[in-house]
Amino acid sequence: MNEVAIVKEGWLHKRGEYIKTWRPRYFLLKTDGTFIGYKERPQDVDQLETPLNNFSVAQCQLMKTERPKPNTFIIRCLQWTTVIERTFHVDTPEEREEWTKAIQAVADSLKKQEEEMMDFRSGSPSDNSGAEEMEVSIIKPKHKVTMNEFEYLKLLGKGTFGKVILVKEKATGRYYAMKILKKEVIVAKDEVAHTLTENRVLQNSRHPFLTALKYSFQTHDRLCFVMEYANGGELFFHLSRERVFSEDRARFYGAEIVSALDYLHSEKNVVYRDLKLENLMLDKDGHIKITDFGLCKEGIKDGATMKTFCGTPEYLAPEVLEDNDYGRAVDWWGLGVVMYEMMCGRLPFYNQDHEKLFELILSEEIKFPRTLSPEAKSLLSGLLKKDPKESLYHHLSHRLHQRLTQDILMKNLQHR
């Protein structure tokens, strides 16, 4: 294998994807297609730190433009499994020409290498390679489960990738929610990685406030997740009907969410990254069930960080918006947002224009209703700190678990 070498390096101005400001980044372009950016010029190229920006120029498309600034160029490329566009500008047309030529040369070289490798493969690659990846990755139950083992009672929800149906297992009479996903749509929408992540997290997690996975199996064109049915309904529905919850009720739910997040963080090294009202259900006894694990990030130990911009706009933490590395604290920011919604009946920051929304999240001071108690204001202020280093999240378990009701304390929290 050829040694990876640096083809070109230097300063570029990169435009923020969501906050449209220009930021200087020192980029390295390598022969393997890696295109990585740093805040400062690396001192030792043989011992590089983790970059702020990490793209691949393999199969990329390049476009030159004079807007929004002169000497701008746009790269349409891959970041993990997702196709993205990133915008850069330099000071002169000559610099832009040098960068675009170098990037195109690396992309062409990689394409040629791929074509040469194809000559050595027996047969041609399948059109549904993503589906094949799912075939080998889905963990099968001890006995072969099929769709014929369930009665299909009613549609619970429908989305881009498939649907969720209330089913009854014929052998036991137990009710479950079956999520049925179309393989071809998952592949077409670049959702293979998220789907496999959700399956792994569900398979490996057992906690009373996380939705449990009973089975996962597949047909030739579908993936099926048979999950615990939380028949208490969506927390969003209950809050919409009642407008606000009492502070005690909000703390009750908050404590259960803390318990679940602490389990994911401490025992599973998983960051959830998508905490919002729509992902919170209630079981028949009124206890929290967190659902939808597609945006989870695995392998994140205490102090480790991530870079990927993901989540729901209204719930994004400031450090995510600023293109900074971020850690587990993003989940506690999300908790702050949902607890604010429960106690105040609205989001802490909102604007229909996402760019204006992000500016509010980054710079606007949080405002509280006059009816909120000093204790509640203190709790929410601690969770919604702009700087994650100042967040209350280090002390969350102790602070919130003090307010657990006797019902929670007596609830059987043994693994099911």
| Widest Cα–Cα separation across the chain | 72
Give which of 90, 68, 75 is closest to 10, Cα–Cα.
Answer: 90
Rounded (10°) CA dihedral 61, 62, 67, 68: 70
108: in domain: yes
Whether cis (ω within 30° of 0) applies to the bond prior to 68 is yes
User: Which of 216-220, 270-274, 409-413 shows the lowest mean pLDDT across its residues?
Assistant: 409-413
Whether residue 119 is contained in a domain is answered as: no
Q: How much is the average pLDDT of 19-24?
A: 82
Active site residue 274: yes
**Together in a domain, 214 and 238:** no
Q: Are residues 256 and 352 in the same domain?
A: yes
Q: Which H or E element spans position 133?
A: helix 129-137
Instruction: Provide mean pLDDT across the span 260-273.
Output: 91
Q: What is the pLDDT of residue 185?
A: 80
| DSSP label at residue 271 | B
Does 256 lie in the same domain as 308? yes
- Whether 224 and 314 map to the same domain: the answer is no
Per-residue pLDDT, averaged over 160-171, amounts to 89
210 located within any domain = yes
**Domain containing 106 — which CATH number?**
2.30.29.30
Residues 407 and 325 in one domain: yes
Of the candidates 112, 133, 161, which is a domain's last residue? Answer: 112
Band (292; pLDDT cuts 50, 70, 90): confident
The number of C-alpha atoms within 13 Å of 128 and in the hemisphere containing its C-beta is 12
Instruction: Express each pLDDT in 187-245 by its tens digit.
Output: 776 678 788 888 889 888 999 999 999 999 999 999 999 999 999 988 998 998 899 99
The span from the CA of 388 to the CA of 166, in Å, is 40
Number of domains in the chain: 3
Both structure tokens of 133: 């990846």
* Average pLDDT of the residues in 340-344: 97
Out of 274, 292, 323, 387, pick the active-site residue: 274
Same domain, yes or no: 239 and 369: yes
Structural domain containing residue 89:
6-112
Q: What is the DSSP string of 344-385?
A: HSS-SS--SSHHHHHHHHHHPPP---TTS-HHHHHHHHHHT-
Based on the fold, state whether residues 220 and 255 are members of the same structural domain: no
| Amino acid 253: pLDDT | 95
User: What tokens appear for 153 in the block?
Assistant: 């009672």
256 compared with 412, residue with greater pLDDT: 256
Residues 251 and 389 placed together within one structural domain of the fold? yes
User: Is 24 a member of any domain?
Assistant: yes
Q: Are residues 282 and 347 in the same domain?
A: yes
**Is 51 among the domain residues?**
yes
Quick one: 299 and 194 in the same domain? Answer: no
The verdict on residue 128 lying in a domain is no
Q: Is 182 annotated as a binding residue?
A: no
Residues 315 and 189 in one domain: no
Q: How far apart are CA 408 and CA 150, in angstroms?
A: 33
